[in-house]
Amino acid sequence: MIEVKHLAKRFAAPVHKERRARQRDVREGDGWFHAVRDVSFACAPGEVLGLLGPNGAGKTTTLRILSTALRPDAGSAFIDEIDIVADPLRARQRVGFLSGSTGLYGRLSARENVEYFGRLHGMAPARLKQRCDDLFEQLDMHAYAHKRADDLSTGMKQKCAIARTVVHEPRVVILDEPTTGLDVMSARVLLEFIASYKALRIPLIFSTHHLHEVDKLCDRVCIINRGRSAFNGTVAELRELGGSGDLVDAFVHVIKQDD
């Protein structure tokens, strides 16, 4: 279970005179940029939660807090009842986090990269081998398993990074824009992979700008706008808000209402 309540995170941001004269973002002006102001959501085992929002809304910052890469200034977040602020190390062991940068070692092959991260997590050799075999099969990566990461295409690297993220069988999975750079076939493979977490009863959160992915996969949706959660609910509840049954209309409606 992932539970996030009233998260906030600000970054130091000196205000320049000319910038002050122009219309400002409501999140800046006091020498800080309040990237996340009040974000709350929950994701239970067996659920996939989609995190949506315009560019710069605060999705990545929120996910980085959840992964324990950033410490929040206010609010709370629990992973399987572990307080990520009070006990970040224990929380981190339970999380598989895919960030924007793939973080692969260029000279290692795709397979070596995934194995390396498995070893870092202390996986026994036999278990690691089986897990890698399964992941390379599920993500359709056998064809380039032995290619150096430097020589992989953007999409191949992304799949490799995803395999690396989940190699240690984390208790919760957090993916920041996982389908970025993937072609149609690869995106489909990945969406099926994400869906498989429902049966495993592992909560999975992913951020995306693609509403068809939300429609296909998500049980719940959180829309973040200018650092605050502007909508929390099921996909069906979101759809109703637009009036037309269309998710794009519903998304635009939520953002306009919130602005």
Ligand X SMILES: Nc1ncnc2c1ncn2[C@@H]1O[C@H](COP(=O)(O)OP(=O)(O)OP(=O)(O)O)[C@@H](O)[C@H]1O
**Alpha carbon distance 85, 73 (integer Å):** 10
DSSP β-ladder status, 48-52 and 204-207: parallel
Identify which of residues 28 and 140 has a Cβ nearer to ligand X in the complex: 28
Q: Which of 4, 50, 60, 75 binds ligand X (CB under 6 A)?
A: 60
Among 37, 47, 48, 53, binds ligand X (CB under 6 A): 53
Q: Which residues make Cβ contacts (< 8 Å) with residue 227, sequence separation at least 6?
A: 8, 27, 34, 35, 36, 37, 38, 39, 57, 58
The stretch among 54-62, 154-162, 214-222, 231-239 that binds ligand X (CB under 6 A) is 54-62
Choice between 33 and 116, CB closer to ligand X: 33
DSSP secondary-structure letter at 28?
B
- By CB atoms closer than 10 A (0-12, 13-18, 19+), residue 192 is middle
Binding residue for ligand X, selected from 1, 3, 6, 11, defined by CB under 6 A:
11
Least distance to ligand X, CB of residue 66, Å: 12
User: Per rule CB under 6 A, is residue 65 in the interface with ligand X?
Assistant: no
85: helix, strand or coil: coil
Instruction: Choose between 23 and 55: whose C-beta lies nearer to ligand X.
Output: 55
Contact predicate 72/7, CB 8 Å: yes
For ligand X, the binding residue among 58, 72, 75, 170 (CB under 6 A) is: 58
Nearest residue (CB) to ligand X, 118 versus 178: 178
Extract the tokens encoding 17.
């005179």
Tokens 């050799």, residue located: 125
- φ/ψ region of 46 (left if φ > 0, alpha if ψ in -120 to 50, else beta) reads left
The residues in 23-52 that bind ligand X, with binding defined as CB under 6 A, are 33, 35
CB closer to ligand X, 96 vs 227: 227
Residues that bind ligand X (CB under 6 A): 11, 13, 33, 35, 53, 55-61
